[in-house]
């Protein structure tokens, strides 16, 4: 009889914790177990890429410990515990913690597994020394290693790469960014907006190497010798790799839960397997895998109601993304990838760029604002179409 069993949430990132908080608003008594591979500290992941300029240490980024969260949520939180298998017929999860293995039975299971960094294919004896900063523990490692370092190379000129470049240059690092596309933030912005971000960061001291990739990383002295495909040699103290993330789908895949890019769910956040749900970076909700905070907040609200007995579909309204390149802020609501249409600038000068993306028949599909033009966000957001129809 699963009805008496707990709700189990796997993952204590923003998605897992936000869901638990929302659930407790509707249901104070159902037993709740949360399982996480990490220490279960509650923190806001977006703050990782502004921590240096704000002089915040990894410890200061922790808002609550797992123990405090357990108390607030009236939940049992199992830390340093990895779910290695799910038996969806028996409604059990297998948990590996150190050398011990245990099993728990669930009534409902929620996967909030997040995403993991993609590793750049790079040669050389220091290839394994690039830092991938995707959670607080990664940040702790980089923070320790960055002490005394003066220069850094960031692989990837997308959202995360530009944010780290912006952060490090403002705390005195010499920063290089390598990006294969001919513009930074190329998946999010039209060329003039990208150019404004690039110019502003360059003026602050960031060196951009566009249209090329990293060929090799090799130890040299106390630092790393970087060779780019275009022949450029750069010597830096540390390397950060930020070429993108991919949803964690392996666990679900191994257990017969259908996945595409993310774990497939409908608008109720239900997977195709009974009593198993997913949200956050790991989920592909009605065709949308969006690795941002706003979609997971909307998902957590809806799923909490569903789990508390009122089936509630999630709706993704327009959700503009703020890129925290604080030297040149960006707000963008890009059209879905591969959409036919064109960018039209309403402003493009040395202080700000504003543009709308429209389809061939004039339908507004997205917008982009950079620099001072970010002040127009209300006007542009009001007109932006919802992500879900
Ligand atoms: P995570 O926070 O990754 O949590 C995953 C959890 O699952 C962890 O607790 C992990 O231990 C656990 N886990 C995974 N596998 C297992 C397993 N097998 N067993 C047990 N536990 C497991 N978004 C924005 O909207 N705005 C921003 O400004 C922004 N800035 C960002 C800056 C940076 C540097 C980064 C990296 C991301 C940023 N994002 C931003 C994205 C946003 O932070 C993420 O979308 C969000 O934090 C994802 O939360 P999550 O709970 O889905 O995943």
Mark the ranges of the chain whose per-residue pLDDT is less than 50: none
User: Would you state the structure tokens that stand for residue 103, as one six-digit string?
Assistant: 């099993």
Q: Is residue 388 part of a domain?
A: no
* Shortest-distance atom of ligand 1 to CA 281: 52
Q: Are residues 162 and 223 in the same domain?
A: yes
Residues 132 and 210 in one domain: yes
CA distance 208 to 198: 8
pLDDT at 98: 85
Q: Is 252 in the pocket of ligand 1 (CB under 6 A)?
A: no
Residue 198 lies in a domain: yes
Which pair of structure tokens corresponds to residue 357? 């993306």
Same domain, 55 and 198: no
DSSP summary character for residue 336: P
The per-residue pLDDT for 248 is 98
Q: Determine, yes or no, domain membership for 322.
A: no
Asked if residue 49 has its Cβ within 6 Å of ligand 1, the reply is yes
Q: Does residue 268 contact residue 313 with C-beta atoms inside 8 Å?
A: yes
| Same domain for 137 and 104 | no
Q: What is the pLDDT of residues 228-283, one digit of tens each?
A: 999 999 999 999 999 999 999 999 999 999 999 999 999 999 999 999 999 999 99
Does the beta carbon of 366 sit less than 6 angstroms from any atom of ligand 1? no
Cβ–ligand 1 contact at 262 (below 6 Å): no
Q: Give the pLDDT confidence score for residue 168 in this predicted structure.
A: 98
The boundaries of the domain holding residue 374 are 329-383
Same-domain check for residues 217 and 264: no
Give the separation between CA 316 and CA 120, rounded to whole angstroms: 31
Residue 194 phi/psi, 5° resolution? Answer: -60, -45
Instruction: State the pLDDT at residue 387.
Output: 94
Look at residue 389 and tell me if it is in a domain.
Answer: no
Neighbours of 104 (CB within 10 A): 19
Same domain, 228 and 171: yes
In CATH, what number is assigned to the domain containing residue 342? 3.30.390.120
Q: How far is CA 38 from CA 35, 42, 56, 60, 246, in A?
A: 9, 11, 21, 17, 18
- Shared-domain flag, residues 201 and 303: no
Q: Decide if 80 is inside a domain.
A: yes
Q: What is the CATH number of the domain that holds 276?
A: 3.50.50.60
Give the containing element (helix H, strand E) for 367: strand 364-371
- 280 touches ligand 1 (CB under 6 Å): yes
In angstroms, the CA 66 to CA 83 distance is 17
At 365, list the tokens.
């599909």
What does the pLDDT read at residue 1? 72
* Model pLDDT, residue 2: 80
Q: What is the pLDDT of residue 389?
A: 85
Q: Are residues 252 and 160 in the same domain?
A: no
Longest dimension (CA), the chain: 66
**125 and 181 co-located in one domain:** yes
**Alpha-carbon span 173 to 355, nearest angstrom:** 32
The verdict on residue 178 lying in a domain is yes
CB-ligand 1 contact for 14 (6 Å cutoff): yes
Last residue of a domain, one of 241, 258, 279: 241
**187 shares its domain with 288:** no
Rounded to whole angstroms, how far apart are CA atoms 255 and 57?
A: 38
Q: In the prediction, which pLDDT does 182 show?
A: 98
Asked if 156 and 58 sit in the same domain, the reply is: no
Say if 323 falls within a structural domain.
Answer: no
Q: Residue 149 belongs to what H/E stretch? A: none
Taking CA atoms only, the protein residue closest to ligand 1 atom 29 is 46
Rounded Cα–Cα distance for residues 12 and 146 (Å): 27
Query: Do the beta carbons of residue 89 and residue 256 sit within 8 Å?
Result: no
CA of 292 to the centre of ligand 1 (A): 9
Nearest CA to ligand 1 atom 28: 46
Q: How far is the CA of 300 from the centre of ligand 1 (A)?
A: 14
In a domain, 318, yes or no: no
Phi and psi at residue 304, in whole multiples of 5°? -60, -45
Q: State how many domains the chain has.
A: 3
Buried b (16+ CB within 10 A) or exposed e, 352-366: bbbbbbbeeeeebbb
* Pair 262, 236 in one domain: no
DSSP conformation class of 183: S
Per the CB < 8 A criterion, the answer to whether 233 and 227 are in contact is yes
State both tokens at 130: 């690039």
Tell me which of 184, 210, 241 is where a domain ends.
241
């Amino acid at each position: 009889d699963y009805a008496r069993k707990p709700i189990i949430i796997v993952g204590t990132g923003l998605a897992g914790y936000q869901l638990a908080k929302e659930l407790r608003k509707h249901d104070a008594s159902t037993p709740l177990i949360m399982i996480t591979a990490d220490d279960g500290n509650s923190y806001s992941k977006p703050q990782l890429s502004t921590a240096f300029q704000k002089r915040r240490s990894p410890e200061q980024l922790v808002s609550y410990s797992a123990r405090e969260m357990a108390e607030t949520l009236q939940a049992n939180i199992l830390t340093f515990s990895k779910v290695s298998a799910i038996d969806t017929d028996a409604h059990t999860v297998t948990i590996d913690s150190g050398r011990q293995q245990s099993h728990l039975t669930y009534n409902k299971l929620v996967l909030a597994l997040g995403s993991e960094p993609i590793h750049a294919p790079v040669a050389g004896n220091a290839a394994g020394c690039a830092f991938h900063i995707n959670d607080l523990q990664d940040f702790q490692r980089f923070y320790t290693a960055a002490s005394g370092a003066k220069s850094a190379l960031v692989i990837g000129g997308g959202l995360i790469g530009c944010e780290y470049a912006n952060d490090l240059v403002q705390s005195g690092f010499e920063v290089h960014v390598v990006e294969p596309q001919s513009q930074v933030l190329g998946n999010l912005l039209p060329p003039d907006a990208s150019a404004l971000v690039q110019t502003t960061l360059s003026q602050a001291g960031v060196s951009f190497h566009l249209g090329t990739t990293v060929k090799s990383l090799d130890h040299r002295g106390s630092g790393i010798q970087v060779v780019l495909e275009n022949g450029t040699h750069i010597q830096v103290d540390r390397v950060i790799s930020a070429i993108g993330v991919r949803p964690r789908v392996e666990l679900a895949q191994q257990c017969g839960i259908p996945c595409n890019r993310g774990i497939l769910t409908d608008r109720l956040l239900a997977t195709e397997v009974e009593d198993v749900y997913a949200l956050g970076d790991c989920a592909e909700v009605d065709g949308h895998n969006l690795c941002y905070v706003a979609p997971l907040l909307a998902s957590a609200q809806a799923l909490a109601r569903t789990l508390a007995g009122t089936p509630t579909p999630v709706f993704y309204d327009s959700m503009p993304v703020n890129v925290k390149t604080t030297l040149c802020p960006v707000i963008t609501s890009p059209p879905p990838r591969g959409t036919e249409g064109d960018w039209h600038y309403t402003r493009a000068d040395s202080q700000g760029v504003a543009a709308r993306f429209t389809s061939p028949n004039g339908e507004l599909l997205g917008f982009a604002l950079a620099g001072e033009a970010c002040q127009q966000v209300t006007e542009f957001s009001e007109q932006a179409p919802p992500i879900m129809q």
